[in-house]
Amino acid sequence: MFEYFYKYGSPRHFYDLSKMFVPWLGGICLILLIAGLTGGLFFAPPDYQQGESFRIIYVHVPSAWMSLFIYVVMASAGAISLVWKVKVADALARASAPLGASFTFLALATGSLWGKPMWGTWWVWDARLTSELILLFLYLGYMALQTAIDDRRTAARAGAILSLVGVVNIPIIHYSVEWWHTLHQGPTITKLDAPSIHPSMLVPLLIMAFAFMFYYAAVVLLRARYEILENERNSAWVYELTEQRKG
């Protein structure tokens, strides 16, 4: 098993795999995006309370979900690179940070655009909003740490520890709407009983969530591939790649 793991965990193989998978993942993402947007913008009926403004949900909620999901992936990859010193895991963690930060920013910004017409304010120090803002700072802190430390192995270790400590924020964000009854609404979909949302509204939301998932998979491979190239710039196989590109 470990032989297999090392073979496909090797930078060289990872590069080839990335080349192979990115177009497929990207293609699936595009199809899902078109389906989700059509469903969300055209077919879903307006909300009985919020009217058309609720359509922000189709970018807001998937972004927020991705911001948490990517953090967990980043911390897990960090843990793997910390324990087994797998270069590819470190590359995945590094590549995840800017994507996670982007989705966190989008969750906050689209939430703000939704909050203004519905709550009457762009921002409020609500538990959900504040903990999500802390998540953004965790991502930015991780990225700053990576640029500040020149030695790759030290940076990988420091980043992994930072991201693992930050994991404590993830359940806080998730349960914030239950622990503190402030302004942000409670969960609609991830409840144990049936979701309190009509299928015509729910299906496009789930499709958008899958689209974002495939987007992340495609782009994280693209970014991790670059991290690997940078790291291995002096190795023979990267040198061979330039031969192919010239020809």
Partner 1 sequence: MSSLQSFLHMGGYAIYVWPAYVLTFIVLILNVILPLKREGQFFRALVERKKRLEKAQ
Interface residues toward partner 1, by CB under 8 A: 41-42, 46, 51-53, 55-56, 59-60, 63, 98-99, 102, 105-106, 109-110, 113-114, 116-117, 215, 219, 222-223, 225-226, 229-230, 233, 238-239, 241-242, 245-246
**8 Å CB contact between 220 and 99:** yes
Nearer to partner 1, 82 or 100 (CB): 100
Q: Least distance in Å: CB of 185 to partner 1?
A: 17
Q: How far is the CB of 216 from partner 1 (least distance, A)?
A: 9
- 173 or 219: whose CB is closer to partner 1? 219
Q: Smaller CB distance to partner 1: residue 41 or 144?
A: 41
Closer CB to partner 1, 39 or 82, in the complex: 39
Task: Tell me the longest C-alpha to C-alpha distance in the chain.
Answer: 63
Q: How far apart are CA 161 and CA 189, in angstroms?
A: 32
- For the chain, helix, strand, coil in percent to 5 are 80, 0, 20
Q: CA gyration radius for the chain?
A: 20
Q: How far is the CB of 116 from partner 1 (least distance, A)?
A: 6
* Minimum distance, C-beta of residue 239 to partner 1, in the bound complex (Å): 7
Please, which residues have CB within 8 angstroms of residue 6's CB and are 6 or more apart in sequence? none
Q: How far is the CB of 192 from partner 1 (least distance, A)?
A: 30
Q: 51 forms bridges with which residues in the sheet?
A: 47
- ∠ CA 136-141-56, nearest 5°, is 15
